[in-house]
């Protein structure tokens, strides 16, 4: 990079033009260069509160551990020379001194030749004695003497003062992360306060007019503030002290005031949202006013996370994470955690990696390093990494993933079947006992609940019926839940089975027309009549389903070629249809009965959809598969399904 194209960070006039997208590596490099090296502030802490902190200085042992020569067993303190000739056939008699050295008792008598003093484990070895004989290796000989039948080596069963930790010894080195073992060493030396690297205080602000704090009530068009909670927790997970300042509306003056207040106390500020260049996105405009050098990077060639904004204001890092929770979470872990951990004196995270094969082609945007969240399943020839297809707006794509794969900025795709490295989000690969890949249904959870109670781990990956069948054919799952209607035979599912797969009947889901209960147009009509009524009213808007959905086939039949308003609104799930009607974006649509009831909608039954399982025959004998089949057939599960509005087959 030439100096001409370098940002003149000191010149705030240039900052609005500073919209060059940097590579992930370049952005991180510049951010770190603007922040480090920096002195790590040290702070004394009670050791009990120092868990997980980094030690700021070496700690030298102030005392010996143990502080005195100590008996390792219950027995007698003796002079080893007295016992030199002791043997099974030649016992030596020792007279007992007139004291018992329990723990915490200071010995008063000297152990003279041919005497012994009773001593407890941990008792201080008395003067004169140089060895301990175990109680079990002696016999009483009258009230005030013992017999010993084996010799004792000098020093036997004695821990000498300082043998564990010697006074003046370096006990712990600066930079050590304090865990329970380190705390044990500190406690043994009597150290109550330790110098630790002061936890960076990190202020967290969410931005957006639409945000409501969890626990509050959502009004139309509002969403819960997810980022505030996850960022706060992730800061704590990485050695920071998080101070959540709440959500601030997209108002420049209000936000600037909140940012200034936060920065007064904090060492670092993390915001989320408002970093795109859209209407109402104001946070990045405030940054240049908060301190030098200001914005370091705005726009990083990273996916998810392109709108990430990194700034340093008078030495303090200020970060604006993208608004979408998965993007926020991912960029935080990838770009901010390294900086936070360095400020906390912690070593970089060491994430475990495994290799796995991707079963499907993953398209990627040229020019951006792309991270794709994956779920892992085990196939015969190794691990398979399933991309989670939910996109950066979906919190579950990060939260439920096992790890992520990285697609290079210069690659347009990762071809199906390629081997790749997966960075794990957990310390170890969690290989599930049972893998279910295909169409999702809330009824599925009712079947897997008893399995989970029995200690089995079940992974269910929602990729739709066809995706599930493909996975089953490749042997990547045990079962593929499907609901595919075959036009020719007018039956569900059986026609779609390939060799090696067999059908396990699941349950029936009543499909029908949903409408708002107060909508008189549909009151007490049958399905055909309801659709006729809807078509007759030009103000009536429908919501459709996606091509390929079994439900869509039913809708098209009912419409018989008509294309009413809303026809092109084609969401991919039963819930989206119900939400559209409940929220008055549409007046009618087709969904399944349990979903209609959950949304409090009126429901006109039409036809039953068959939700069954394509079972991979080669895996049928596996005990977890048998457990699944048993659960499916059980009285308990069938009752639960019925209760939820399904009809077990
Ligand atoms: P923005 O960058 O502010 O335009 O936000 C992009 C998207 O992320 C929008 O759909 C926002 O509603 C959403 N979003 C922003 N902040 C949050 C947050 N704290 N929690 C959940 N979603 C958010
Ligand atoms: Mg916003």
Kindly state if the Cβ of 278 falls inside 6 Å of ligand 1: yes
Ligand 1 test: best mutation among 208, 249, 274, 299, most atoms within 8 Å of CB?
208
Q: Which residues contact 631 (CB under 8 A, 6 or more apart)?
A: 447, 448, 450, 451, 637
Predicted local distance difference test score (pLDDT) of residue 463: 81
Kindly state if the Cβ of 238 falls inside 6 Å of ligand 1: no
Kindly state if the Cβ of 305 falls inside 6 Å of ligand 1: no
Kindly state if the Cβ of 225 falls inside 6 Å of ligand 1: yes
Specify the ligand 1 atom closest to the Cα of 250. 3
Cα angle 13, 19, 24 (rounded to 5 degrees) comes to 130
The ligand minimizing its distance to the Cα of 223 is: 1
**CA 324 / ligand 1 centre spacing (Å):** 5
**CA 512 / ligand 1 centre spacing (Å):** 34
**CA 173 / ligand 1 centre spacing (Å):** 43
Predicted local distance difference test score (pLDDT) of residue 207: 96
Kindly state if the Cβ of 223 falls inside 6 Å of ligand 1: yes
The token pair at 435 is: 């893998």
**CA 209 / ligand 2 centre spacing (Å):** 7
Q: Are 469 and 482 in contact (CB under 8 A)?
A: yes
The ligand minimizing its distance to the Cα of 329 is: 1
The position carrying tokens 């006013």 is 289
Using CA atoms, how far apart are residues 340 and 278, in angstroms rounded to an integer?
Answer: 29
Kindly state if the Cβ of 323 falls inside 6 Å of ligand 1: yes
**CA 390 / ligand 1 centre spacing (Å):** 16
Specify the ligand 1 atom closest to the Cα of 226. 20
Q: Are 558 and 564 in contact (CB under 8 A)?
A: no
Q: How far is CA 511 from CA 185, 518, 590, in A?
A: 66, 20, 7
* Burial state string for 297-333 with b = 16 or more CB within 10 A and e = fewer than 16: bbbbbbbbbbbbbbbbbeebbbbbbbbbbbbbbbbbb
| pLDDT cut 70: percent of the chain above it | 96
Predicted local distance difference test score (pLDDT) of residue 125: 98
Predicted local distance difference test score (pLDDT) of residue 148: 97
314-323 confidence digits (pLDDT tens)? 999 999 999 9
Residue 104, CB-side half-sphere exposure with 13 Å CA sphere: 0
Kindly state if the Cβ of 272 falls inside 6 Å of ligand 1: yes
Q: Are 370 and 412 in contact (CB under 8 A)?
A: no
Q: How far is CA 192 from the centre of its chain?
A: 33
pLDDT beneath 50: ranges in the chain:
1-18
Kindly state if the Cβ of 394 falls inside 6 Å of ligand 1: no
């Amino acid at each position: 990079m030439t100096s001409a194209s370098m940002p003149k960070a000191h010149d705030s006039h240039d900052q609005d033009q500073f919209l060059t997208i940097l590579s992930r590596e370049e952005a991180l490099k510049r951010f770190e260069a603007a922040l480090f090296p920096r002195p790590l502030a040290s702070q004394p802490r009670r050791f009990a509160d120092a868990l997980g902190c980094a030690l700021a200085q070496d700690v030298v042992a102030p005392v010996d551990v143990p502080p005195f020569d100590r008996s390792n067993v219950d027995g007698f303190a003796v002079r080893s020379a007295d016992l030199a000739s002791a043997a099974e056939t030649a016992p030596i008699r020792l007279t007992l001194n007139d004291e018992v050295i329990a723990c915490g008792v200071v010995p008063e008598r000297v152990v003279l030749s041919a005497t012994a003093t009773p001593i407890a484990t941990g008792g201080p070895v008395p003067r004169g004695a140089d060895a301990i004989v175990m109680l079990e290796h002696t016999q009483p000989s009258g009230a005030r003497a013992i017999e010993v039948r084996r010799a004792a080596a000098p020093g036997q069963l004695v821990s000498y003062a300082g043998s564990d930790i010697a006074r003046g010894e370096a006990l712990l080195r600066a930079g050590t992360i304090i865990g329970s073992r380190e705390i044990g060493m500190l406690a043994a030396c009597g150290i109550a306060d330790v110098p630790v690297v002061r936890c960076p205080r990190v202020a967290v602000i969410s931005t957006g007019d639409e945000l409501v704090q969890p626990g509050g009530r959502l009004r139309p068009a509002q969403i819960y503030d997810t980022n505030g909670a996850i960022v706060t927790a992730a800061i704590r997970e990485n050695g920071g002290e998080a101070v959540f300042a709440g959500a601030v509306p997209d108002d420049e003056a209000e936000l600037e005031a909140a940012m200034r207040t936060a920065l007064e106390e904090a060492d670092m500020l993390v915001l989320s949202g408002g970093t795109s260049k859209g209407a109402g996105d104001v946070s990045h405009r405030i940054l240049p006013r908060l301190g030098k050098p200001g914005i370091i990077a705005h726009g990083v060639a990273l996916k998810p996370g392109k709108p990430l904004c990194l700034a340093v204001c008078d030495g303090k890092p200020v970060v604006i994470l993208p608004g979408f929770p998965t993007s926020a979470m991912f960029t935080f872990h990838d770009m901010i955690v390294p900086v936070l951990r360095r400020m906390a004196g912690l070593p970089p995270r060491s994430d475990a990696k495994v290799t796995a094969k991707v079963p499907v082609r993953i398209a990627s945007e040229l020019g951006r390093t792309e991270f794709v969240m994956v779920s892992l399943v085990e196939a015969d020839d190794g691990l398979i990494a399933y991309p989670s297809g939910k996109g950066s707006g979906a919190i579950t794509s990060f939260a439920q993933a096992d790890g992520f794969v990285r697609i290079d900025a210069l690659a347009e795709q990762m071809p199906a079947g390629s081997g790749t490295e997966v960075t794990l989000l957990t310390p170890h690969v969690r290989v599930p006992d049972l893998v279910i890949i295909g169409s999702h249904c809330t009824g599925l959870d009712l079947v897997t609940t008893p399995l989970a109670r029995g200690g089995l781990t079940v992974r269910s990956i929602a990729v739709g019926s066809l995706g599930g069948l493909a996975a089953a054919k490749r042997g990547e799952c045990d079962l593929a839940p499907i609901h595919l209607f075959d036009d020719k035979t007018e039956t569900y599912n059986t026609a779609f089975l390939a060799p090696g797969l067999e059908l396990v009947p699941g349950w029936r889901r009543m499909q029908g027309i949903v409408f708002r209960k107060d909508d008189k147009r549909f009151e007490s009509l049958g399905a055909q009549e309801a659709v006729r009524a809807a078509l007759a009213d030009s103000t009536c808007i429908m919501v459709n389903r996606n091509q390929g959905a079994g439900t869509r086939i039913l809708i098209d039949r009912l419409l018989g070629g008509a294309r009413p308003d809303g026809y092109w609104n084609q969401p991919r799930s039963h819930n989206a249809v119900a939400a559209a009607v409940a929220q008055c974006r549409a007046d009618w649509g087709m969904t399944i009965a349990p979903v209609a009831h959950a949304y409090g909608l009126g429901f006109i039954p039409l036809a039953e959809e068959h939700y069954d399982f394509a079972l991979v025959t080669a895996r049928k004998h596996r005990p977890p598969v048998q457990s699944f089949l048993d659960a499916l057939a059980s009285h308990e599960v069938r009752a639960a399904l019925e209760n939820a509005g399904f009809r077990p087959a």
